[in-house]
Structure 1
């Protein structure tokens, strides 16, 4: 049976990725770290832009490994054997360059533990070679500082169902922002984006849901560019928080509220029971959502059916089957 792609090539989202995860033999030892999940699954939704910062700063293949040395707050990227090899500034510049020149990126997937690309828990050594602390790779830190909106994750952490769903949700949320607001900026587009994202935001941060609602009530007093940049900065920061089972239950109950006057008592009891089963961790999120979708398609209004919470990413990825 012929496989139907999740998204057509022209619809796929640009996402940066460490080149070694694409199977490119760019690691210090001439090897790679090909990611089956990225290439076999996510490649149906993302257009990957591979980049190896160590190669880009002139280090060859194979090459002497580099490591982070010195002050944990400002480590240096030096050769593990030749201390005169220092590529700290060069790697940081590549991070800023990618953030500046690849404005269309909606996410970035990095390789774990790399002194250039590691997102967290990268070993930092004392000058004498003894491990000292843990930090962030030089390229990764510069990239994330220069583009704080960008969803960034390590490939290894994508094997965690909650982290995987959180990252991919943020990628699609940022893509919607670029398509729905940035392409034709207006206060109306900003309000519409927030209106469709309310329950998705609530699932990740109830505080953020309330805060951004108050902000938009007065946003017309600000220049449009300032209102947009402030909103999306806060929105993406709140979305970086992992949605919990408790917060999902809260949102499910809010969504159910739009059906109370349209469904009979038996249907309502059925929905409440399946939400309670999800709260007790007896089923995963896909179960109450599927039932809710069934009734929303029949009885819901346009507002609630338009909520991005209901389908924040393609269902074929099965992300909510595991949370």
Structure 2
């Protein structure tokens, strides 16, 4: 895998993922966070097109022991490798979105062109096509928290630092597939009992088994749902006559979604803002007024102690 030059880490946040899809021109879907695998929660998000799962990456599993098997879907599908670090969120999201087969979902010009251009390409070449897309890189990076100290060159990852990875689960035909950009092909979890319409129930079992393989108490998971619920509710509301008992429930759900989308828009705006200038000005003025003397002295003592501890362990550390 290539280094991460030019690509920033992305938060596992439904507002960020919804914003990425929106700015890429996708219409008819949003991304919502799931706080559990209760079937009622999954049913409430109908139509649910895909699940995006974030987990702690512990290395490549042995294909002979992993849940599911490497298998190319028999149906037309899209699958791209992740060929650059830090891009796994967008790769998982695009792998999921480009496999949605619904007349209610519009991919938009950017992803439609990428899909058409990638026709017939192998997964690795598709991965390079995505990673070399200036539009995708620009949108992906626009949702990273502002960091004035971010360096474009590759910084080797600390071996002690946990790594996290995004993958997608969705039905292709009547089978449940796991799309992991770090694997050579999609992973098939077999036929979905009752057909594709019941895929979320089957996916829940697969995810529960996967989570159970981690040590007890491990909580570093996150599950996001790619859903068309908002548009489905809008259509349902349009078809209900005035005074129908169901209208209030549908309107209430729609209002909750609209309010959440507005909140995410504000959060994404704040996420993109660089507060370093403001913080620097406040600290500079506080220092001029002598309000940081004790804090500065305390910070210097802590740094001296850190340097002493490092040297005692035989590790080099500059006092700067």
| Normalised TM-score (structure 1) | 0.24
Relative CO higher for 1 or 2, CA cutoff 8 Å, sep ≥ 6?
2
Compare the two structures and name the one with the higher helix fraction: 1
Larger Rg: 2
| Normalised TM-score (structure 2) | 0.24
